[in-house]
Amino acid sequence: MSTEYSIKKVAKLFNISTNKIRFYEEKGLLSPKRNLENEYRKFNSQDIIKLQAILLYRSIGIPIDQIKELINNNNKMNFLNHFNNQWQVVNNEIQRLNVIRESLEEVLDNIYESKTNEITTDFLEIVEKGNKINNIKDNWKDKWDFNEWARRYDVFIKEDKGNLNIYKNYEFILEDVYNKAINTEHIAKNILEIGVGTGNLASKFLNKDINIIGIDQSREMLAVAKEKFPRLKVRLGEFLKIPYSDKYFDVIVSTYAFHHLNNQEKCIAIVEMLRVLKDNGKIVIGDLMFRDGKEEQDVLKNLDSREIEIIKDEYYSHIDFLEKEFIKYNRKLNYTKIDNLNYIIEVK
């Protein structure tokens, strides 16, 4: 005979109010049986398990309507979708609060260091700067639709259609980025790949049993990477919002992703990468770049209008610009030219 619980016993069991249980019932999350004589609720063991799940979902901030869908649709893809949604919400909020905290720290330092008792409005500029950073982080858009591209990405790379031959040295670049990443004085225990895509670079580390985490803003790219390489740990994330704590990684790698950021976004991405990188860590990026504006013009003048349009649709880096940005943080950039459009940079 199954054990049945009254609403008061259930409330006591979970240390919550009876009103909270009634609320979940009103929202359609719980449906305990009723005593035919007095209409009292009778909770069985399945109701208890369901309530425990509801409380756990609420504890990590999942909204009521999503909890209802999780309960009613108990399959892997549904769970991945909802938990990824919540992961993104939490990461976005952490990123927002981190910028606010940094702004407050700068304001406090200015106040403490002020020589007078009068407070100027300089701190408003600091707050405005922080708001601008958060606005840029929140408004990056994937105008290239990588979710739609994910299932045919590997074929596209191999075919490398068009006269630009952007990917003609794709395999070489991946191999060189890998070799530069593992060529460190210290053992690289934690490696991060930003823009992991379908996992082609990450697989080189996995093949040597090197711990690597791949982040990408495209859920479909992550799904493909996970299908190809089940041992690969993947997370939603991007250059502007790396979902890890300070000084977490020994090495950061990326290929064919940095050019999806404009210069403002690149500056924020550099700060974000250095935030999660250990003091003695390094960054290795293989990507579409030019040495400077002059080299870009020299390349463009030999292309037709369609090829120029393809390049202008992206944000190819200028290495001299990146050098100036990294030197602000006492980091030195070395670079290797691979072909007319591709470079590998190494930042220590």
pLDDT in tens, 133-160: 999 999 999 999 999 999 999 999 999 8
| pLDDT reported for residue 319 | 98
pLDDT, tens digit (0-9, with 9 covering 90-100), for 88-128: 999 999 999 999 999 999 989 888 888 777 767 788 889 89
Q: What is the mean pLDDT of residues 182-203?
A: 92
Q: What is the mean pLDDT of residues 179-204?
A: 93
Q: Are 273 and 252 in contact (CB under 8 A)?
A: yes
Give pLDDT, residue 39: 77
Nearest to 260 by CA among 146, 142, 139, 344: 142
Burial of 294 (0-12, 13-18, 19+ CB in 10 A): exposed
Q: What single-letter DSSP state applies at residue 115?
A: S
User: 188 vs 139, which has greater pLDDT?
Assistant: 139
Phi/psi of residue 291, nearest 5 degrees: -60, -40
What is the C-alpha to C-alpha distance for residues 42 and 296, in angstroms, rounded to an integer? 74
The partner residues of 285 in beta bridges, in order of sequence, read 254, 345
Minimum mean pLDDT range among 27-36, 137-146, 227-236: 27-36
| Unique residue bearing structure tokens 């949604």 | 85
How many Cβ atoms are within 10 Å of 312's Cβ, its own excluded? 10
Q: Rounded distance, CA 238 to CA 218, Å?
A: 9
Percent of the chain clearing pLDDT 90 (strictly above): 85
Q: Give me the pLDDT at residue 268, please.
A: 98
Strands 277-290 and 249-255: parallel
Percent with pLDDT over 70 in the chain: 99
Locate 93 and state its tokens. Answer: 């909020």
Banded model confidence at residue 1, pLDDT cuts 50, 70, 90? very low
Report CA torsion sign: 230, 231, 235, 241. Answer: negative
Q: Over 70: is that where the pLDDT of 2 sits? A: no
Strand partners, 43: 5
pLDDT at 3: 79
Region 289-304 average pLDDT = 96
